[in-house]
Amino acid sequence: MSNTHAQDGRTHLPLQDRIPSSKAREIFRRIRQKHEISKNDLLTKSGLTVSTLTRVLEELSAAGLIEESGFGASTGGRRPILYRTRASYGYCFGLDISRTTSRLAIVDSAGQKIDSISWTMTEHMTPSALIDYVVEQIQLWIAKYRIPHEQCIGLGIGAVGTLDRFTGIIENPQWFYAPGWNDVPIGAELEHRLRIPVLLDNGANTAIIAESWSNRTKGVRHMLYVHAGVGLRSAMMADGKLIHGATDMEGSLGQMIIQADGIPHRTPGGNYGCLDSYATIYAIEREAISKLRTGRPSRLQSVIHLGEAVTFRHVIEALHQQDTLATEIVSQAATYFGIGLANLLNVLHPEKVILGGPLMTSNDLFFYTATQTAIRRTYHYPSYQVVFSKGNYGEEAIAIGAALLVLDNLTSRQEA
């Protein structure tokens, strides 16, 4: 998915060819990591000679990738010139493909969000339907913001797995409401339709890219991201680098066994007593239906219309009304989630944990119950301290991170 062609017939350069010099890629990467940075700091950190750095900065400026942003504080001599990424160099699109809601965002080359839109993933949202919506919206944005094709840097996709990020194929995801989501060549199809480079990765990975970007000046090196919704997804950064396994393990967190003789998994081959069966939207809905069938009184009976099945939305609505049963069900799921989270902390020891997804954003009860449970079960607490957060991007983290994935690839080393 690297060599694409523009709509006017011109070849669209692969992402890494936009900055052909390895020294220029390294300097641009350093500038991107700061809001602004002085030439002296770049000289110290890069190890380049003054003449080489000057030439590289001129190369990046001439290409429109960076710009001067003023002068820094003087340390006794001339005030140093500051450099920053030039926001108008180009634009990247980021697509979040999730089971309940999918989202598209556009960011500029400085990583600032310009616009976003979301779609509910109903039983009618097949791959072809979503692709049509995405293509149409990107074309509308290109017209609205008057973006020349050469300034469309690329599209990143953060998707539910399993997937193959090298071939751009969503392989075998589970629990979509619409049919047709197996073996979808999403990358090739969108490259063909849009004529820009397309990159695919796990949605949890793109979310942690976004949250790492928002923390880039704070020195956070080891970060864990967990997305809790219809399923459970996780990603990890160690020493500032995203960890990829030998294969896409998008749903592996949900298979963590927390009760060996527990509930059977909802799909064949799943583990008995795994976290997915206790701490997901599915688990909450199953528990609510079970409790109502035993005659438990609840406001759920008043928020469900005649003939409707109990859904997560109904549980949250009852929770907002301080319903005892809804509070009990959500607290129980959050406690199980916290146990699974403690297991991750005891193995990975991140500095910061970002918790995202519908279970975290719909109500504070789940977040606080889960984090307090995890803290009480974390080994070496309180000497080992971890920061929990819902993140800076919230529901847009996957889409924003997918767009940032494209920008990151401008400075990636080309694989042999």
* pLDDT for res 306: 55
Sheet holding 101-108, edge to edge: 113-120, 101-108, 91-97, 152-159, 198-202
* pLDDT for res 1: 55
Task: Give DSSP secondary structure letters for 125-141.
Answer: --HHHHHHHHHHHHHHH
The closest alpha carbon to 251, from 178, 160, 336, 342, belongs to 160
Q: Is the peptide bond before 14 cis (omega within 30 degrees of 0)?
A: no
Burial of 44 (0-12, 13-18, 19+ CB in 10 A): exposed
**Per residue in 23-58, pLDDT tens?**
999 999 989 988 888 888 888 888 888 899 999 999
| Mean pLDDT value across residues 135-144 | 97
> Is 88 strand, coil or helix?
helix
Looking at 1.10.10.10, 3.10.400.10, 2.140.10.10, 3.30.70.20, the CATH number of the domain 4-87 comes to 1.10.10.10
Q: What are phi and psi of 109, to 5 degrees?
A: -75, -10
* pLDDT for res 7: 43
| Mean pLDDT value across residues 275-291 | 93
* pLDDT for res 300: 83
* pLDDT for res 208: 94
Domain boundaries for CATH 3.30.420.40 within the chain: 89-210+398-408, 219-391
Q: How confident is the model at residue 303 (pLDDT cuts 50, 70, 90)?
A: low
Residues sharing a CB contact under 8 Å with residue 262, sequence separation 6 or more, in sequence order: 272, 273, 274, 277, 278
**Per residue in 76-116, pLDDT tens?**
667 778 999 999 999 999 999 998 899 999 999 999 999 99
Domain boundaries for CATH 1.10.10.10 within the chain: 4-87
- Angle of helix 39-46 versus helix 50-62 axis, rounded to 10: 120
Q: State the fold for domain 89-210+398-408.
A: Nucleotidyltransferase; domain 5 (3.30.420)
Q: Does domain 219-391 have CATH number 3.30.465.10?
A: no
* pLDDT for res 247: 67
Per-chain mean pLDDT for the chain: 88
| H or E element at residue 388 | strand 387-389
Whether the predicted pLDDT of 293 surpasses 80:
yes
CA 6 to chain CA centroid, Å, is: 28
Torsion of CA 280, 251, 395, 278, to 10 degrees: 10
Determine contact, residues 359/241, Cβ cutoff 8 Å.
Answer: no
> What letter would DSSP give residue 415?
P
Q: How confident is the model at residue 21 (pLDDT cuts 50, 70, 90)?
A: confident
Q: How confident is the model at residue 382 (pLDDT cuts 50, 70, 90)?
A: confident
> Is 200 strand, coil or helix?
strand
**Per residue in 204-247, pLDDT tens?**
999 999 999 988 878 788 999 999 998 898 999 888 888 887 76
Distances (CA, A) of 77 to 53, 80, 384: 20, 9, 44
| Mean pLDDT value across residues 309-336 | 93
* pLDDT for res 10: 41
